[in-house]
Amino acid sequence: LHPAAPATGSLLMGALVLTPTSLLVDHPWALQPSARSLMALVALAVFSTALAFAIYFRLIQTLGAIGTTAQANLRVPIGVAIGVV
């Protein structure tokens, strides 16, 4: 399968399951988010999700599945180092 196919399926299924739950629990029609909150939401969607998926699929294409999953060993120490800085 093309790498985007399973990712698309998992994101769509997650949205399908979580949307009714969030409507029941959060009552989004009663929320009044500020402009700052909405900008933070857009920034998280673009930089944390979309950019990460683009990088991930590029790594799959260039390094292959094994090379891409090998980076998981470096994720924790790099994340801790960034947190310390």
pLDDT in tens, 41-82: 999 888 888 888 888 888 888 888 888 777 777 888 888 899
In the chain, domain spans: 1-31, 33-85
pLDDT value at position 63?
Answer: 84
- Do you know the residue count of the chain? 85
Is the Cα dihedral 21, 25, 30, 31 positive or negative? negative
Q: Is the pTM of this model over 0.75?
A: no
- pLDDT of 27 > 80? The answer is yes
pLDDT value at position 69?
Answer: 79
Round the average pLDDT of the chain to a whole number and report it.
Answer: 87
Output DSSP code: residue 49: I
